[in-house]
Amino acid sequence: MSAQQKVQEHEKVKVKTVSPTQPLPPNSERKAILTERLIIRPVSEDDVDGVHAIHRQPEVMKYTLRGRIDDNKEMTLASMGRFMPPNDLHTYSNVICLASTGEIIGTGGISTADRTFGWPEVGYLFNKEAWGQGYATEFLKALVSFWWTLPRSEIELGVVAESVDGPGEAPEMLSAIIDASNIGSQRVLQKTGFQEFKRWFEPDIREGHSGDVLLVGFVLSSAGQEGYRAVGSGGPVLEPTDQAPV
């Protein structure tokens, strides 16, 4: 997600909903989420080389907070720190590895700290060699399915007005903010069930950018969603559980 999303204040309404109980499980207690081709596991300092290699690719970093590559591993470690203890208690972030080789091909997760729309927010990036093979969609489907299985508490939340019918009770949602020119990422969200609900211009404050940028807001409602679990002996796959939607 990019820095420009912080510029505009969105009108909020108060809703009663549910959300994963805070603090979230720490990285040390999280198990990997397994899909057909991916191992999605909590990020640790040992992953810095793999994450740094991705953070050196301008095509990938264009859509991040600073909009440019990391100069050195210290910068990469600092950005990873946003998802490591003690910040892991409010984020559910991961490195995304190929199950076949263990290679780190991406990072991504859900933050309950960055609440531009009030709802927890998803973010992800993949190295460019991995693009176009369905990995981001496979990752995001698994992540959100797992998210719905976390223990929940009732909560009162100020959320962006356009995402709900009005104040009162509302189904829990996840959100995303995307640069309108980032068609691939919008496709990933759509394939995962997210729906666009808002477009707006903001000054583009990313390094090396000027003028305005058109941003797109997406939400995914928990209504009708099912939790998933990793199963299978020959290779882990995700199958629906009979768990009721949250």
Ligand X SMILES: CC(C)(COP(=O)(O)OP(=O)(O)OC[C@H]1O[C@@H](n2cnc3c(N)ncnc32)[C@H](O)[C@@H]1OP(=O)(O)O)[C@@H](O)C(=O)NCCC(=O)NCCS
User: Of 13 and 178, which CB lies nearer to ligand X in the complex structure?
Assistant: 178
Q: How far is the CB of 173 from ligand X (least distance, A)?
A: 17
Q: How far is the CB of 49 from ligand X (least distance, A)?
A: 18
User: Of 195 and 243, which CB lies nearer to ligand X in the complex structure?
Assistant: 195
- Please write down the HEC assignment for all residues of the chain: CCHHHHCCCCCEEEEEEEEECCCCCCHHHCCCEECCCEEEEECCHHHHHHHHHHHCCHHHHCCCCCCCCCCCHHHHHHHHHHHCCCHHHCEEEEEEEECCCCCEEEEEEEECCCCCCCCCEEEEEECHHHCCCCHHHHHHHHHHHHHCCCCEEEEEEEEEHHHCCCCEECCCEEEEEEECCCHHHHHHHHHHCCEEEEEEEEECCCCCCCCEEEEEEEEEECCCCCCEEEECCCCCEEEECCCCCC
Q: How far is the CB of 28 from ligand X (least distance, A)?
A: 26
User: Of 136 and 170, which CB lies nearer to ligand X in the complex structure?
Assistant: 136
Q: How far is the CB of 18 from ligand X (least distance, A)?
A: 25
Q: How far is the CB of 65 from ligand X (least distance, A)?
A: 10
Binding site for ligand X (CB under 6 A): 1, 60, 63, 123-126, 130-137, 178, 182-185, 187-188
